[in-house]
Amino acid sequence: MNTVRDHLGLKMLFCAITALAMLTSPPALAEESLPFMPLKGDFDLEDEQGQKVSLKSYRGAYLLVYFGYTYCPDVCPASLGQLSEALWHIPEPKAQRITPLFISVDPQRDNQEHLRIYTDAFHHAMVGLTGSPDNLQQAAKMFGAYYIKGKPEPDDPEDYTISHSSLTYLVGPEGNMLKLFPHATSVKEIAITLDRMIQLPKGE
């Protein structure tokens, strides 16, 4: 089986083309606003360094949360490419307050090394998370995300795809859901929204 490095070159080319197109496309009309909607419960996952983390671990930071998997052929690299590009289009002090979280729903293949390589290719601040099937289901339920693992190829049990939701969730410093970005949201619209919603501490 090809490693994540083998797949990443084509994925990065795809997301670069997609991000360029998104920069010049009109703002998405489907963006959903959920001001100050509290998230119920917490998640129990591990980051790409093997450390146990929860939503409370990131209290004080804004989060951009996305559920996917590193072997995703198109939707994940496109969405993560858009998010990464948007972060470069907002003032640096605001960008520094944001932690993008990529939650892999494919713990069978997405180990810590794969997540580290994958997330670092998109943005230096992006953190990959995963966990046990039960804990991933708990996290997905918490955000209202879904995923369904497809049947593997007969000759390779690790050759399969996963159907999953493609929303990006903006979470505030107190753990409230602030915004949902559908997959079709443009880089420009994401950047404008983040610039508007990210608040700096007083005096900065």
Q: What is the pLDDT of residue 202?
A: 74
Please, what sign has the CA dihedral across residues 121, 2, 153, 14?
Answer: positive
Mean pLDDT in residue range 33-56 = 84
Instruction: Give the class (CATH, top level) of 4-197.
Output: alpha beta
Distance of alpha carbon 60 from alpha carbon 125, whole angstroms: 15
- Annotated domain spans of the chain: 4-197
> Rounded distance, CA 2 to CA 13, Å?
17
Task: For 33-102, give the DSSP string.
Answer: EEEEEEPPS---EEETTS-EE-GGGGTTSEEEEEEE-TT-SSHHHHHHHHHHHHHTTS-HHHHTTEEEEE
* Residue that the structure tokens 């001001």 belong to: 35
pLDDT confidence of 8, banded at 50, 70, 90? low
> Cα dihedral angle (154, 158, 161, 163), rounded to 10 degrees?
110
Per-residue pLDDT tens digits for 82-91: 999 999 999 9
Question: pLDDT tier at 44 (50, 70, 90 boundaries)?
Answer: very high
For residue 4, pLDDT beyond 90: no
Cα atoms in the 13 Å half-sphere on the side-chain side of 11: 25
Given a cut of 60, is residue 55 above it in pLDDT? yes
pLDDT tens digits for range 171-191: 999 999 999 999 989 999 999
The pLDDT of residue 19 is 43
Query: Is-contact 134 142, C-beta < 8 A?
Result: no
Other CB atoms within 10 Å distance of the CB of residue 42? 14
pLDDT in tens, 106-139: 999 999 999 999 999 999 999 999 999 999 999 9
Per the CB < 8 A criterion, the answer to whether 32 and 180 are in contact is yes
Q: What does the radius of gyration of the chain's CA atoms come to, in whole angstroms?
A: 16
Amino acid, single-letter form, for residue 31: E
Indicate the pLDDT class of residue 29, thresholds 50, 70 and 90: very low
Looking at residue 177, its pLDDT comes to: 93
- pLDDT of amino acid 112: 94
Q: What pLDDT is attached to residue 24?
A: 37
